[in-house]
Amino acid sequence: MENHVSAMPLWAIVIFIAGFLYSIAFLTKPIKRAALNAGMTLQKARNIQIGVFVFYVAYLTYVSVFALKGVFDVDAVPPKVFVWAALPLMVILFGFIGNTRLFKTLLQSITLESLIAVHVFRVLGMFFLLLYGYHLLPDKFAFSADLGDLITAVLALPVARMASKRKPGWKAAVYAWNIFGILDIVNLLTIAVIIGANGNLREMAVFPFVWFPAFAPATILFLHTVVFRKLHLLKTAEDPIKYSYVNG
């Protein structure tokens, strides 16, 4: 029976799984704060936070089962993990969750800086270099993936601080950082399809590193679009008469 588990050492796999789950829990913290800012009870805020965490754990469980059965571990263009995992998650996030009343309420209450700062979780991209170090990823993909994630993660906190304190040039900094983060994901997806066509990205199709392509593109792109939506809300709040006229 073919093994569909990463060839990385067990210690690296365990650290990756723990770090990934912690990152998801980290992503839910601003959601809880937003719920409290919206006037919800502590219990309801916790329920929302737990609900988001459980949703992602259930989703990763679904992805893991398919990966362990070898569903994604085949040469295909586009990669099957995108078709059976990343794309459905994108549809759920953009087509459903982003249009719910609860999401819009939370978006009104969440702070812009928290939406930016949450991207520090992308330091997990360091695992791309670790995979390269064990000769399990091609250098072009590993360094592109790692560099873009680390730049976005490292700049997240200073940009969030600029936005929080409304320092001169904060809007330009947020727009530039946000666009860079989006282009990084688009570039990575392009490289993944090109290299994946040659069968060189097997680690991204087996457990547990399949979580990267299944989770990251859809979630990160969604988070970046949420930043743009929050910027629009802030702009509308600054000049409600102008925007009520435009939208009217």
pLDDT in tens, 4-20: 999 999 999 999 999 99
Q: What is the pLDDT of residue 145?
A: 87
Whether 241 is in a domain gets the answer no
Whether 114 is in a domain gets the answer yes
- Using CA atoms, how far apart are residues 35 and 45, in angstroms rounded to an integer? 5
Whether 246 is in a domain gets the answer no
Whether 5 is in a domain gets the answer no
**Percent of the chain surpassing pLDDT 70:** 94
Whether 247 is in a domain gets the answer no
Q: What is the pLDDT of residue 246?
A: 38
pTM of the model: 0.93
Q: Is the C-alpha dihedral spanning 16, 142, 160, 183 positive or negative?
A: negative
Whether 119 is in a domain gets the answer yes
Give which of 36, 70, 31 is closest to 54, Cα–Cα: 31
Whole-angstrom CA distances from 207 to 13, 62, 179 are: 9, 11, 31
pLDDT surpassing 60 at residue 245: no
Q: What is the pLDDT of residue 78?
A: 82
- Using CA atoms, how far apart are residues 88 and 32, in angstroms rounded to an integer? 25
pLDDT surpassing 80 at residue 97: yes
pLDDT surpassing 90 at residue 200: no
For 72-96, what is the mean pLDDT? 92
How much is the mean pLDDT over the chain? Answer: 92
Whether 199 is in a domain gets the answer yes
Number of domains the chain is built from? 1
Tell me the pLDDT tens digit for each residue of 151-197: 999 999 999 999 999 999 999 999 999 999 999 999 988 888 787 65
- Using CA atoms, how far apart are residues 11 and 6, in angstroms rounded to an integer? 12
Whether 248 is in a domain gets the answer no
The two tokens of residue 9 are 């050492």
- For residue 133, give its domain range: 10-236
